[in-house]
Amino acid sequence: MSKHPGYAFKSTVDPRWSGQTIECYLATTFSHSSIGQWMERLEAGELTVEGRVVSGGRLLRAGQEVVWHRPGWEEPPVPLEVEWLYEDHHLLAVAKPSGLPTLPGGGFYQNTLLGKVLQRDPGARPLHRLGRATSGVVLFARTDQAARNLSVAWPSFRKVYRALVTGSPPWMEWTESTPIGPVPYAKLGTLHAACPTGKSAKTHFQVLERRSCQETLLEAILLTGRPHQIRIHAAAAGHPLVDDPIYQVGGIPRSDSAGLPGDGGYWLHAHRLHLTHPVDGRVILLEAPVPERLRMQEEGRLK
3-state secondary structure 73-96: EEECCCCCCCEEEEECCCEEEEEE
Q: What's the confidence (pLDDT) of residue 51?
A: 95
**Structural domain boundaries enclosing 253:** 157-266
Are residues 161 and 255 part of one domain? yes
Q: Is residue 6 part of a domain?
A: yes
Q: Is residue 226 part of a domain?
A: yes
* Rounded Cα gap, residues 97 and 292, in angstroms: 13
Q: Is residue 281 part of a domain?
A: no
CATH code (residue 251) = 3.30.2350.10
Least confident window among 68-77, 78-87, 101-110, 140-149: 101-110
Q: Is the pTM of this model over 0.85?
A: no
Q: Is residue 17 part of a domain?
A: yes
Phi, psi for 15 (deg, rounded to 5)? -55, -30
Which of 57, 75, 93 terminates a domain? The answer is 75
Number of domains in the chain: 2
Inform me whether the pLDDT recorded for 109 exceeds 90. Answer: no
* Rounded Cα gap, residues 261 and 167, in angstroms: 22
When pLDDT is cut at 50, 70 and 90, the band that residue 107 belongs to is: low
Mean pLDDT of 248-276: 91
Q: Is residue 291 part of a domain?
A: no
Least confident window among 101-105, 150-154, 183-187: 101-105
When pLDDT is cut at 50, 70 and 90, the band that residue 300 belongs to is: low
Distances (CA, A) of 83 to 70, 79, 125, 140: 34, 12, 17, 13
Sequence-ordered list of residues with C-beta below 8 angstroms from that of 52, at least 6 positions apart, any chain: none
Q: Is residue 82 part of a domain?
A: no
Q: What's the confidence (pLDDT) of residue 2?
A: 61
Mean pLDDT of 128-144: 95
Q: Is residue 141 part of a domain?
A: no
Sequence-ordered list of residues with C-beta below 8 angstroms from that of 244, at least 6 positions apart, any chain: 231, 235, 265, 266
Q: What's the confidence (pLDDT) of residue 253?
A: 93
> Within its chain, how far is the Cα of 278 from the centroid?
25
Inform me whether the pLDDT recorded for 258 exceeds 80. Answer: no
CB 254 within 8 Å of CB 123:
no
Average pLDDT, the chain: 92
Report the length, in residues, of the chain.
303
Residue 276: its H or E element: strand 268-276
CATH code (residue 39) = 3.10.290.10
Inform me whether the pLDDT recorded for 78 exceeds 90. Answer: no
In the chain, the percentage of residues whose pLDDT exceeds 90 is 77
Inform me whether the pLDDT recorded for 92 exceeds 60. Answer: yes
Per residue in 285-296, pLDDT (tens digit) is 999 999 999 999
Mean pLDDT of 23-43: 91
* Rounded Cα gap, residues 141 and 144, in angstroms: 8
Specify whether the backbone of 238 is left (phi greater than 0), alpha (psi in -120 to 50) or beta. Answer: left
When pLDDT is cut at 50, 70 and 90, the band that residue 73 belongs to is: low
Q: Is residue 167 part of a domain?
A: yes
Least confident window among 21-35, 39-53, 133-147, 190-204: 21-35
Per residue in 207-255, pLDDT (tens digit) is 999 998 899 999 999 999 999 999 999 999 999 999 999 999 999 999 8
